[in-house]
Amino acid sequence: MTELATQVPDLVRFGTSSWTYPGWTGLIYEKAYPATGAGARMLGEYARWPLFRTVGIDSTFYAPASAKTLASYAAVLPDGFRCVSKVWDRITAHTHANPRDRTHYGELNSDWLNADLFVNEVLGPMQEHFPAHLGPLVFEFQTISRGANLDAAGFADRLDRFFAQLPVGAPYAVELRNAEYLCPEYFAVLRTHGVAHLFNSWTRMPTIGKQLALDDVITANFVVARALLRPGRTYAKAVESFAPYDHVQDENPELRGDLADLARAALELRVPAYLIVNNRAEGSAPLTITGVARQLVGAAGS
């Protein structure tokens, strides 16, 4: 594995969507860890696996990480190891969708695209406590219903106003779950603000390859992707089918090829590519990454 990793170009950063999976014992982790409370220790061992050069921090979607948590992560990560972190969904959720929140469920979220909230609660703490490991900050927009009466142009306009209020210099990326929002206005807004379009493989989105084929789709000085699900498959079905994520159960050659093509596109532009893979894509994210790396290296040597 070390030999393969040395052949992967430095600009290509492979990583997984989170890392606290007991099923990776013997694959990534040399010892078993408790079910909870070992996040930083597991991250330290994770970061030593040769092919991993980034990681997706997904927990920050549900609440910003505390200063203590960020410090514990920073203490175990090597220099240059930058993370792909989700932005708190209080900022990205157009409508309150948590069924446990009976008070606000179904209501419009008054903090949707609240720039001050993002800067104060997300960006500021990350820059203070995690600066050396701050990679792309991902604004994941869950599916916005047609009943919201927010068309593609309207969504792009709201993004434009939001990013115009943010400090420049931080790496921002937008992940969509509405395929109809992939329009020229959307890409123009991202390009104006130097924000990346995040290439995702998800239930109701075009494949990464189809997204890459769109005009002017690379909009920032870095590329980022999240291979989450095979299009058409739900998250719940993938969890049921693939846990505990210790082997590939549904190899997806198209997905692997798309990720390799995206890496090559980034290399041609001489920009970094952050390629995040979820266990639910094929059954075991580390093994999917290994396959993509071999494909990328093999093509380079042919």
Give the pLDDT of residue 36: 84
What CATH number is given to the structural domain containing 252? 3.20.20.410
Instruction: Name every residue whose Cβ is closer than 8 Å to that of residue 8 and which is 6 or more positions away in sequence.
Output: 14, 51, 293, 296, 297
Q: What tokens were used for 109?
A: 């979220």
Stated as kind and residue range, the H or E segment containing 187 is helix 184-193
Give the pLDDT of residue 300: 63
* pLDDT tens by residue, the chain, 302 residues: 899 999 999 999 999 999 999 999 999 999 999 878 899 999 999 999 999 999 999 999 999 999 999 999 999 999 999 999 999 999 999 998 765 566 777 788 999 999 999 999 999 999 999 999 999 999 999 999 988 999 999 999 999 999 999 999 999 999 999 999 999 999 999 999 999 999 999 999 999 999 999 999 999 999 999 999 999 999 999 999 999 999 999 999 999 999 999 999 999 999 999 999 999 999 999 999 999 999 999 866 55
Q: Looking at the 3D structure of the chain, how many domains does it have?
A: 1
> Quick check: 262 and 208 in contact, CB under 8 A?
yes
> Quick check: 179 and 155 in contact, CB under 8 A?
no
What is the extent of the structural domain holding 122? Answer: 2-301
Put simply, whether the predicted model's pTM sits higher than 0.85 gets the answer: yes
Angle at 42 between CA 41 and CA 43, to 5 degrees: 90
Give the pLDDT of residue 102: 65
